[in-house]
Amino acid sequence: MRDFANRRPGGHQEAHRCLAEEASAFLERHVAPAVLEVFPEWQGLLLECPVLGVSVWIVRSPSDGRWLHRVTGQPALLLADVLAHRGRRFAEAWEALQARLIVSGRAEP
């Protein structure tokens, strides 16, 4: 993820604002606004990738990812990790993100 916090005093707030903007842009592409109005405190979004034959939860926290994996059997990725790979070729991003998959009982660093 980008290192906004070390750029200047108050950088942590800027980093949080930028991440929030990136998260909002990501959600706008994948979730209808009406859904976000009804579920503003969403726990996870299940994205399917037919090309890879896999479904992955996009979550806000590792604990949400572990819980969703435990109850559904589908692994999870942190939204922040997904956003960190934005702009990369799909195959390259997926290769890097596989090491970050969250499953019940463990979360990769």
Task: Give domain limits for the chain.
Answer: 11-107
Predicted local distance difference test score (pLDDT) of residue 97? 92
Handedness of CA 107, 77, 103, 96 (dihedral sign): negative
Are 42 and 58 in contact, with CB atoms under 8 Å apart? no
pTM over 0.75: no
List helix spans (H) across the chain. 11-30, 33-38, 62-72, 79-84, 90-98
Predicted local distance difference test score (pLDDT) of residue 19? 56
Average pLDDT on 13-38 reads 69
Residue 45, SS3 per DSSP: strand
The pLDDT tens digits for 54-101 are: 899 999 899 999 999 999 999 999 988 988 888 888 888 888 999 999
